[in-house]
Amino acid sequence: MPIIDLRFALEQTPEVLKGVPLTLTISIISMALGSIFGLFIAVCRIYKIPLLKQIAIIYVSFMRGTPLLVQLYVFFYGIPIFIEFLNETQGWHLGGDTISPLIYALIAYTLNTSAYQSEVFRSSIQTIDRGQFEAAYSIGMTTFQAIKRIIFPQSLVAAIPNLGNIFISLIKATSLAFAVKVVEIMAISKVIANDGYRYLEMYLVASLIYWILCFFFERLFVVIEKKLSYYELREEVRSAS
């Protein structure tokens, strides 16, 4: 009996690939929503908004200081209990049991990645020369307009490498979603491995798929970073001239 049954692995690869769309869905949606929430948190901390700043500090510390798997379990088991509590106290009739496991996963991954992205945005925004704010104010811009039109575009260039790393880490972290019944790459691999008693083969297939996905997005972020750096350099040359 061979140590690795390559034929079995190749035959089951197309089945495992069916989990790729869901893996990417979780990663992309969580990253997009996490960017919005993370930017908000960063702004609250940078401008020291009363109360929100303290809440943001505690939130970031908690989300970064607890395992993602634990957070998945907390939302998966906690949200239905909270909904049941609301039904009993408020007389509502919400169906907590009918919520898709995907929703719990999206909530957990979004909140988790927003904490990491907030730190990336905070550090990149703080690298921007404060004189640019003064220049924006001198031509009548508000703080929000200055951030939107001047500060954020520049900070995004500086943040792209770290955001790329977070996204790649997020793709790999989706392998934990099977713990809350989300049928993605890892879940499908585990089911096939259990049925065929070929654990090594299926986990190798899953690892190769994750590696290919991460390699693709790694190269994609490198291209994006180069293009943004090119446009930034061109703008600097234009301003200098």
Segment 107-151, tens digit of pLDDT = 999 999 999 999 999 998 888 777 777 788 888 888 778 877 777
Per-residue model confidence as pLDDT tens digits over 175-206: 999 999 999 999 999 999 998 888 999 999 99
Q: To the nearest whole percent, how much of the chain has pLDDT over 70?
A: 94
Burial class (CB in 10 A: 0-12, 13-18, 19+), 4: exposed
Residues 6+ apart with CB under 8 A from 150: 132, 136, 141
Mean pLDDT estimate for the chain: 89
Task: Look at residue 59 and tell me whether its pLDDT is greater than 70.
Answer: yes
pTM: 0.89
pLDDT score of 229: 72
